[in-house]
Amino acid sequence: MVDVWARLEPHLASVQKPARYIGCELCAEVPPPSPHRVGWLLVYPDTYEIGLPNQGLQILYEILNERPDARAERTYAPWTDLEEVLRRENIPLFSVDTHRSADEFDVLAFNLSAELVYTNVLNCIDLAGVPVRSRERRAVHPLIGAGGHATYNPEPLADFLDFVVLGDGEEVVGEINAAVAAWISGGRTARIDVLRALAGIEGVYVPALYEPRYLPDGCLEVTAPIDAAAPAVVEKRTIADLGEWPYPKQQIVPLTEVVHDRLNVEVFRGCTRGCRFCQAGMITRPVRERPADQVREMVQQGIRRTGYDEVALTSLSTADFSGIEDVVMSAMDDSVGCGNVSVSLPSLRVDAFTVGVAAQIQKARRTGLTFAPEAGSWRMRQVINKLITEEDLYAAVDSAFSQGWRRVKLYFLVGLPTETDEDTLGIVELASRCLQLAKEKGHNGSVTVSVGGFVPKAFTPFQWFGMNTEEELRRKVNLLRDAARHAKGVQLKWHDTRASLVEGLMSRGDRRLGPVIEHVWRAGGTFQEWSEHFRLDLWEAAMEAHGLDMDWYCHRHRTEHEVLPWDHLSAGLHKDFLWQDWRDSLDELGLEDCRWTPCYDCGACTGYSIEHVVASAVPPAGGSQGTGQNLLWGTEVPVVLGARKSSQVPV
Amino acid sequence: MKIQQRVRFTKLGKIRFLSHRDLARIWERSLRRSGVQVAYSEGFSPRPRLSFGLALSTGHESLGEYLDIDLARDVDPLELPGIVNPSLPDGMVAQIACAIEPGIPSLQQAVISSTWRITLADVPVDELTEGLERVLGADELPIVVERKGNKITLDARPAILALTQDDVVLEAELASQPRSLRPAELLRAIDPNWGDGRVLRTHQWTLVDGARREPIPLGDLSSRGATPTPHAGARA
């Protein structure tokens, strides 16, 4: 057992935020190492303050530590100053729980929430003293795995990962543990033995057992298994009932400042609003609500165990939870004994009803509300199937300003399919009108517009879309800056369009990008999601060095029959469903939320014989978005719904 | 009427790398978790009413940190450490608590000096001895500090109330009124090459009727079963 603390400690006084590295949080018990337990090091490849709140990692941490045959610890990417110390002093990557050396664990499991962390993954593997390329690893080395949303196209990392998990981790993590335990107790035979065993588990993809073949034009011909143990298509895992998994039970309470520093209770998983740009909404289907009683219990116990004074009810769109009003009100009532507890809804739907709920729960600290209309014109919002009317938005903003909020923040995307300058400029028009509503209320409200460049993702209807060039995205941002200058009081913020380009490269890239990632990492390009460390020049140089064309990967529209790098993986969604949704999008046709309307067979339920778990068969009050009618006013939304379902549209 | 208690606690081991701000958050949550009802401030954004004494630099350890708590419901001060300790992280142990009279000077105002134990394992013993003799024999000890962006020179000599050496360990009593002299400033003024060493605050002192005394009288600390040293694990 190698505890690196004694060697690490003398250097911690000289690095920024040393509390990132000390552990000591109150959290689940980590059992002592034992040959009968598979040792997992769960790695979040970004800083502690970004990674600690990650619920996926915390859920697996608890589930593993409850098992008699597993133990799990955590680590996060060391900041550049500590990395320098580790390399200089020859100290390996370590767990924050017990400061054990990373190479003593049997499995290093990475959480991949975003593409720009890929170089950090390589850096962490290397700091662990493990060869970065999977084919160079031997039986003594830890297995390197990954899960999280970005793993739906894991191909750029295929050279570096031993196994990849698609979908919900709660069940499959135990099956992986059993396979690894059997391999270890069998004497750690050749590495291929455990890889084959892992490939036999549903939801687990072993990249080394597949090989891509390319056509003369550079497109993929196929990615096919080269080993009998590997299935032709790897299906994602989906837990049927969130109520069976009330995790985390003992959320980790950090000792130092982190993002989202509050109790988080996941109220449902999955979303079927059907926003076409949203990968999360596509890959996490169907909707699985947690029983309301369990939500109440988790809030109550969580507040008591953690000492937090704030709880966030999390999901992709919490206002859609059946009976959301009752749940938040009773959560607050129950918490009274524990002192002043506030409830927050991190993802607000854009309508007045939602603001009403927010007003009831956010009695104090009523500072800012955030909405995401995503596009500036109704036409554009039909293309992306984010069916918010201007009336919805104005009613929400009006309600917010009437009820004491001073700041409204609006999220938008630019670079969406079929977007014209008129659509783009509609963003500032919407924002100006919102500001006008504040003035009518007689106070100086502010409206902040936050703009991101759209990046197409795997398993969405927009996976065929050639994203806007960096110049085009920048031009649109500048267009907005000019327009916002004339709209006094509207503040504009935008994401770095160069970072969107690299995100786009990774999100739909193939295995030929492996050497590019390695090149950028070797050139020192870590922490690429941090603007002060982002280096587009490194990525461009690496692409050129390997004879690859950024344009071809990012800006090219794919055709219907092109083989995509993730075609041998499945999120349950039929490819022809996605293609039809893409065609509908170009025809500006909307599609309803199937939670409350008949099934259109996207494949996510039918393929796995599961169903939505929703307590209420009718949409929540006020939620016009995607339902085909405005429930607040009892009128229809002027949306043309998809031809495939035209007979089912309420008339 | 306000119910106020003063608590003395340690900051030892790995958690020495927490900042002063971190400490405040940890105490808020630990008190809430242990069911101690703390009074909240009024206003738009109510906060628990906790007031800490002189900030301890990140990376320094301490046997004697202090905190004043406004309670919404009274707790027996003899029991408070036992109630809150299970909720505190390893290395942080509440040793003793006592009720305080409302209106007494705050910790920030009352504490006049602290005693520090500074271990400089990498500096030769004679060099330490020599440095100490030089400083104690001098009439003044200029240090440069930054104030509102300007560098100004202050005389640190009057703030050195005591300074002794035992092998590589220095023991220093440094004044905190009118300005706190930090151990790092002292060391840098003696010899910039010494580094920061390992620093432990052992005592804080107030003046009561002309006599030096800790902010909580510690006379019967041991008889109450509270121990001023942490459990062994905290040192790991």
The complex's ipTM?
0.90
**Is B12's Cβ below 8 Å from some Cβ in A?**
no
Over 70: is that where the pLDDT of A345 sits? yes
In this prediction, residue A331 carries a pLDDT of 74
Q: How far is B161 from chain A (nearest CA, A)?
A: 27
Over 50: is that where the pLDDT of B236 sits? no
8-state DSSP, A537? H
**Is residue B128 within 8 Å of residue B168, measured between CB atoms?**
yes
Over 60: is that where the pLDDT of A374 sits? yes
**Is residue A380 within 8 Å of residue A419, measured between CB atoms?**
yes
Task: Locate A252 and state its tokens.
Answer: 């980790």
Element (H, E) at A177: helix A172-185
What pLDDT band is residue A52 in, cutting at 50, 70 and 90? very high
Domain boundaries, chain B: 3-104, 121-196
How far is Cα B229 from Cα A344, in angstroms, rounded to an integer? 41
Nearest CA in chain A to B92: A24
How far is Cα A313 from Cα A306, in angstroms, rounded to an integer? 16
How far is Cα A614 from Cα A162, in angstroms, rounded to an integer? 37
- What are the chain B neighbours of A340 within 8 Å (beta carbons)? 40, 46
In this prediction, residue A637 carries a pLDDT of 41
B57-74: pLDDT as tens digits: 999 999 999 999 999 999
Nearest to A445 by CA among A406, A409, A410: A406
Nearest to A495 by CA among A508, A509, A476: A476
What pLDDT band is residue A626 in, cutting at 50, 70 and 90? very low
**Is B231's Cβ below 8 Å from some Cβ in A?**
no
**Is residue A388 within 8 Å of residue A627, measured between CB atoms?**
no
In this prediction, residue A141 carries a pLDDT of 98
- What are the chain B neighbours of A339 within 8 Å (beta carbons)? 32, 37-38, 40
Closest in A24, A305, A339 to B14, CB measured? A24
- B208 or A583, higher pLDDT: A583
Rg (CA), chain B: 19
8-state DSSP, A157? G
A107-136: pLDDT as tens digits: 999 999 999 999 999 999 999 999 999 999
The single-letter code of the amino acid at A619 is: P
- The whole-chain average pLDDT of chain A stands at 91
Provide CB contacts within 8 A for A471, sequence distance 6+.
none
Q: What is the CATH number of domain A5-235?
A: 3.40.50.280
Over 60: is that where the pLDDT of A649 sits? no
Strands A288-289 and A342-344: unpaired
Percent of chain A with pLDDT over 90: 76
A205-260: pLDDT as tens digits: 999 999 999 999 999 999 999 999 999 999 999 999 999 999 999 999 999 999 99
Closest in A22, A305, A307 to B17, CB measured? A22
Q: How far is B41 from chain A (nearest CA, A)?
A: 12
B100-147: pLDDT as tens digits: 998 889 999 999 999 999 999 999 999 999 999 999 999 999 999 888
- What are the chain B neighbours of A18 within 8 Å (beta carbons)? 17, 58-59
Which residue's entry shows tokens 């069916």? A387
CB contact under 8 A, A307 and B28: yes
Over 90: is that where the pLDDT of A489 sits? no
**Is B130's Cβ below 8 Å from some Cβ in A?**
no
If one counts every other C-beta atom within 10 angstroms of the C-beta of residue B109, the result is 11
Q: What is the mean pLDDT of residues B160-189?
A: 95
Element (H, E) at A327: helix A324-334
How far is Cα B45 from Cα A569, in angstroms, rounded to an integer? 49
What pLDDT band is residue A361 in, cutting at 50, 70 and 90? confident
Q: What is the CATH number of domain B3-104?
A: 3.30.70.580
**Is residue A467 within 8 Å of residue A550, measured between CB atoms?**
no
How far is Cα A131 from Cα A615, in angstroms, rounded to an integer? 49
Length of chain B: 236
Chain B interface mutation, best of A8, A98, A255, highest count of B Cβ atoms under 10 Å:
A255
What pLDDT band is residue A597 in, cutting at 50, 70 and 90? confident
Domain boundaries, chain A: 5-235
Vertex A182, ends A176 and A184: CA angle to 5°? 100
Q: Is A623 exposed, middle or buried (0-12, 13-18, 19+ CB in 10 A)?
A: buried
CB contact under 8 A, A22 and B58: no
Over 70: is that where the pLDDT of B234 sits? no
Over 50: is that where the pLDDT of A541 sits? yes
In this prediction, residue A625 carries a pLDDT of 54
A61-102: pLDDT as tens digits: 999 999 999 999 999 999 999 999 999 999 999 999 999 999
Percent of chain A with pLDDT over 70: 93
Q: What is the mean pLDDT of residues A558-584?
A: 97
- What are the chain B neighbours of A24 within 8 Å (beta carbons)? 14-15, 89-91
8-state DSSP, B48? B
Element (H, E) at B50: strand B50-52
How far is Cα A419 from Cα A65, in angstroms, rounded to an integer? 49
In this prediction, residue B226 carries a pLDDT of 44
What pLDDT band is residue A365 in, cutting at 50, 70 and 90? low
CB contact under 8 A, B32 and A21: no
How far is Cα A164 from Cα A369, in angstroms, rounded to an integer? 37
In this prediction, residue A26 carries a pLDDT of 87
Over 50: is that where the pLDDT of A188 sits? yes
Q: Kindly list the distances between the CA atom of residue A392 and the CA atoms of A187, A359, A361, A367, A633, in Å, as whole numbers in the listed order.
A: 63, 17, 21, 21, 11
Q: How far is B138 from chain A (nearest CA, A)?
A: 31
Count of CA atoms in the C-beta half-sphere (13 A) of A132? 17
CB contact under 8 A, B89 and A309: no
Over 80: is that where the pLDDT of A640 sits? no
How far is Cα B205 from Cα B173, in angstroms, rounded to an integer? 9
Q: How far is A387 from chain B (nearest CA, A)?
A: 36
- What are the chain A neighbours of B91 within 8 Å (beta carbons)? 24
CB contact under 8 A, A257 and B25: yes
Question: Taking a contact as any Cβ pair under 8 Å apart, which residues of chain B between 16 and 55 contact chain A?
Answer: 17-19, 21-22, 25-26, 28-33, 37-38, 40, 44-46
Over 80: is that where the pLDDT of A644 sits? no
CB contact under 8 A, B40 and A257: no
Nearest CA in chain A to B58: A13
What pLDDT band is residue A429 in, cutting at 50, 70 and 90? very high
Which chain A residues have any C-beta within 8 angstroms of a chain B C-beta? 5, 12-13, 18-19, 21-26, 253, 255-257, 304-309, 338-340, 364-365
Q: How far is B126 from chain A (nearest CA, A)?
A: 23
